[in-house]
Structure 1
Amino acid sequence: MTSKPDTLAPAGKTSGWRGSRDVWLDAAKQAIIDSGVDAVKIQPLANRLNIARTSFYWFFKDRGALLEALLDEWESKNTGAFVEACGAYAETISEAVLNLIVVFHDETLFESQLDFAVRGWAHQSDMVAARVHNADEARLSAIRAMFERFDFDKSEADVRSRTVYLTQIGYISMQLNESDAVRLERAPGYVKTFCGQSPSQSELARFYARLKYNPASQPR
């Protein structure tokens, strides 16, 4: 009995000798971050991965399916991070805002470079632009609901949610190159600006611990 070439994976298999769906998707993500959506092409990705081009078709129907999966992952992860953070347990609005700010600083939760790349892609595609618009609305809605949970009226919650979100999108779109220490030292001021209430020392301590940051160890 003759076995299949090892460049092919059994039908329905999601990983194997010649890569996996996640391997192709991660390579596509890095390509769009590095060079834009035009760099997300099957043969260049195969070359990057040192995997036979034929492997691709075990995991995706075509390039369009790969791009759709890339958008789905961006939306699930980045928008999902906002929704989860805004709904997280908090005893005060300042603690709730700190929960959200954690997302801005933790690339395992929110990939800012991918967000920037997808926004660039949106300038080339009405479909992607619509997805970005919907994601922005979902994120704003989650932040607005967070403020309303702490008894801010709808109008004030709307303005404050936009202040929070547009500040972060400004950081992404301007590609500001600030150190984590600089941004984290500003966190208490941002919290007060965003919600009108300064965080307590215990809230700040928990916030810094989540990000593995020790203010006392920073040079003065």
Structure 2
Amino acid sequence: MHTREAVVLTKNSPSTAPKNTIRGNTKTTRENWLKEAQKVLIEEGVEHVKVGRLAKNLAVTRGGFYWFFKTRQDILDTILTNWMDSKNDPLTRIINDKNDTPLDPLIRFFSIVVHEQSYSPALDSAIRDWARTSSATRDAVDLVDDRRIKALTEVFLSLAYEQKEAFIRARILYYHQIGYYAMDVHETKKQRLNYLPVYFKQLTGFELPNEALQKFKR
């Protein structure tokens, strides 16, 4: 597992303008531009994230963009930086309660990927596609993947697996989920919950407690 201390995106750091400041007489905020750029990235790919396109979608002039971002690359760097931020990534915060039982972090991981409420698999997939054409984005993806696998490895270690097996189990669980998204598997929520106990046992080596299963179904 490779460890990367930092990822340099471009020579210029992303704009540090306040998130929702309205500048001049524009009709938009910085957050409006970011949300629209992220939407286009997810739906159409990075090559379509262009200033003119975003301005048209927001029904404003291109000039409004430059109140908040220096260049197109600036907004792309901001999206990537936000995605990389561990504070925004629930998959790296599965170990967060000193009162957890040993299985609670794994139950939390499954809850995140089943309910998709605090995590966007669509954004993950879009950034992975972007990484095919950008070495900086590839480095960012590798860093985030390493961080998530490290968190899962720690969970399996706490469940008394040896180091190597804990690491491999972490990779199997994580790569399984990434592959699920990459294949764009379509299942109803009912189907996913029906399969959940089997997936949990096969991927973790433990039975999913019935109490946890009932919480998933609420």
**TM surpasses 0.5:** yes
Structure 2 CA distance, aligned partners of 1:12 and 1:114? 23
Aligned to 2:12: none
Instruction: Determine if contact 1:160/1:194 at 8 Å carries over to the other structure.
Output: yes
Amino acid at match of 1:15: T
Amino acid at match of 2:117: T
Aligned to 1:31: 40
Aligned to 1:75: 84
Amino acid at match of 2:169: R
From 7, 14, 18, the equivalent of 2:27 is 18
Quote the RMSD (CA, aligned, Å).
2.0
Of stretches 98-107 and 24-33 in structure 1, the one that deviates more from structure 2 is: 98-107
Tell me the alpha carbon deviations over residues 45-69 of structure 1, each in whole angstroms, 9 at most, x when there is no partner. Answer: 0000112211111111111110001
From 66, 76, 91, the equivalent of 2:75 is 66
Amino acid at match of 1:91: T
Instruction: Determine if contact 1:78/1:109 at 8 Å carries over to the other structure.
Output: no
Instruction: Determine if contact 2:102/2:158 at 8 Å carries over to the other structure.
Output: no
Aligned to 1:134: 143
Q: Larger Cα Rg: Structure 1 or Structure 2?
A: 1
From 201, 204, 208, the equivalent of 1:195 is 204
Aligned-pair identity (%) = 29
Of stretches 84-93 and 163-172 in structure 1, the one that deviates more from structure 2 is: 84-93
Instruction: Determine if contact 1:98/1:207 at 8 Å carries over to the other structure.
Output: no
Amino acid at match of 2:131: A
Superposed, 1:34-183 pairs within 5 Å as 34-76=43-85, 80-88=89-97, 90-93=100-103, 95-183=104-192
Instruction: For residue 78 of structure 1, report the CA deviation from its aligned partner.
Output: 9.1
Using the size of structure 1 for normalisation, the TM-score is 0.83
Structure 1 CA distance, aligned partners of 2:86 and 2:18? 25
Structure 1 runs not aligned, ≥5 long: 1-10, 210-220
Partner SS, residue 152 of structure 1: coil
Amino acid at match of 1:41: K
Instruction: For residue 102 of structure 1, report the CA deviation from its aligned partner.
Output: 1.3
Instruction: Determine if contact 1:99/1:207 at 8 Å carries over to the other structure.
Output: no
Structure 2 runs not aligned, ≥5 long: 1-16
Alpha-carbon distance change, 14 to 76 in structure 1, aligned in 2, over 3 angstroms: same
Amino acid at match of 2:166: A
Structure 1 CA distance, aligned partners of 2:68 and 2:141? 25
Instruction: Determine if contact 2:82/2:88 at 8 Å carries over to the other structure.
Output: no
